[in-house]
Amino acid sequence: MTTADTPPQTLPEVAQLAMENSQNIATLIEKFSELAATTAQVASEMADQLAAAHERLVQTVAGLVQEDRARLATLTTGLDNLRTDVSNLTASIAGLSEAQRETNDRVTQMNGHLTTLSGRVANLTGARYEKEASRLAQRHVRKQLNIINAAVTHTDWEPGPLVSNAVNSDEITDAEAEDLNRIDLVITGQDGTGNTVHAAAEISITVEPSDVTRAASRADILRKVTGQTVHAAVVGSSSTPEAIAMAERCKVIILTIPAPANEN
């Protein structure tokens, strides 16, 4: 009897072994064919799946590229619009700067006109007050300085030979003569003994310390020219505290004459 460890001894045994081998080989060939078919099917399915996956990947990548191109186009358009807006804004700013400069120039011109107008109003106000004060001052001088027959002898000083003689005799300087020419008001009268007395006054709506010192200085010059008694005075609607203190130190009389009712 033939076994795996015993080789066939007889022809029937060889034939039987050959038949068994043939059956085994046929079975192997059949299984190999089935395996080949299965492998082919799997390979085909995998190929189809890979092809489908590749197609999906290609479509996805193409979609992403298309979206990126669209986004890039949108960004490019937005950047162009931004550049246009910046350019327009720059032009607008330049226009505003020019308009501001023109406005500033107009404001400067208007301020100049206002300053000129204010100066003219102030001059008119001062001139009107000086005229009114000159008219009323002699009455105040009579009361406060006891000057008899007080009368305005000067509102625009032109003393003529009297000052010229004082300059020629070196009693006053040319500068003092010129300063005396600018005195606002001179009132002349007599004292109780009949001697001639003058009041040399500076007029200002609001009396400042400079008005007081100017009145004292010009009264002193007039005293040198005339050799007579000269009282220094300031005429104003009001006086600053500093001017009042200065008047006391310089012995200058303050004559308060209110401004006309329609003056500020």
pLDDT digits (tens, 9 = 90+) for 232-248: 999 999 999 999 999 99
**Phi, psi at 202, each rounded to 5°:** -105, 140
106 found inside a domain = no
- Contact between 208 and 226 under an 8 Å Cβ cutoff? The reply is no
Copy the structure tokens of residue 170. Answer: 């070196």
Model confidence at 119, in pLDDT bands (50, 70, 90)?
very low
pLDDT value at 124 more than 50: no
- 3-class secondary structure, 115: helix
In terms of pLDDT, which residue wins out, 250 or 111?
Answer: 250
pLDDT value at 123 more than 50: no
pLDDT value at 22 more than 90: no
Q: pLDDT, tens digit, for every residue of 176-215?
A: 988 888 899 998 999 889 999 999 999 999 999 999 999 9
Q: How far apart are CA 184 and CA 124, in angstroms?
A: 16
Q: How far apart are CA 151 and CA 225, in angstroms?
A: 19
243 found inside a domain = yes
pLDDT value at 264 more than 90: no
pLDDT value at 117 more than 60: no
In terms of pLDDT, which residue wins out, 101 or 201?
Answer: 201
In terms of pLDDT, which residue wins out, 253 or 8?
Answer: 253
Q: What is the CATH number of the domain that holds 248?
A: 3.40.1350.10
Return the top range by mean pLDDT from 21-25, 157-161, 253-257: 253-257
What Å distances lie between residue 139 and 23, 89, 122, 161, CA to CA? 165, 73, 26, 29
Task: Check residue 218 and give its pLDDT.
Answer: 94
Q: For residue 111, which amino acid is it?
A: N
241 found inside a domain = yes
The share of the chain scoring above pLDDT 70, in percent, equals 84
Model confidence at 35, in pLDDT bands (50, 70, 90)?
confident
In terms of pLDDT, which residue wins out, 11 or 257?
Answer: 257
User: Mean of the per-residue pLDDT values for the chain?
Assistant: 81
Task: Check residue 79 and give its pLDDT.
Answer: 79
Q: How far apart are CA 108 and CA 100, in angstroms?
A: 12
Task: Check residue 5 and give its pLDDT.
Answer: 61
pLDDT value at 2 more than 80: no
- Contact between 180 and 221 under an 8 Å Cβ cutoff? The reply is yes
What residues make up the domain containing 196? Answer: 129-256
- 3-class secondary structure, 263: coil
- 3-class secondary structure, 241: helix
251 found inside a domain = yes
Strand order in the sheet with 253-256: 148-154, 185-190, 196-203, 229-236, 253-256
- 3-class secondary structure, 252: coil
153 found inside a domain = yes
Site of tokens 């020019």 = 98
Task: Check residue 253 and give its pLDDT.
Answer: 93
Task: Check residue 237 and give its pLDDT.
Answer: 93
78 found inside a domain = no
Model confidence at 104, in pLDDT bands (50, 70, 90)?
confident
Q: pLDDT, tens digit, for every residue of 52-93?
A: 888 888 888 888 888 878 888 887 888 788 888 888 888 888
Q: Residue 195, by phi and psi: left (phi above 0), alpha (psi -120 to 50) or beta?
A: beta
Q: How far apart are CA 184 and CA 16, in angstroms?
A: 166
Domains identified in the chain, total number: 1
123 found inside a domain = no
**Phi, psi at 203, each rounded to 5°:** -115, 130
Task: Check residue 159 and give its pLDDT.
Answer: 57
Q: How far apart are CA 132 and CA 155, in angstroms?
A: 12
Copy the structure tokens of residue 173. Answer: 């300087």
86 found inside a domain = no
Mean predicted confidence (pLDDT) in 132-136: 80
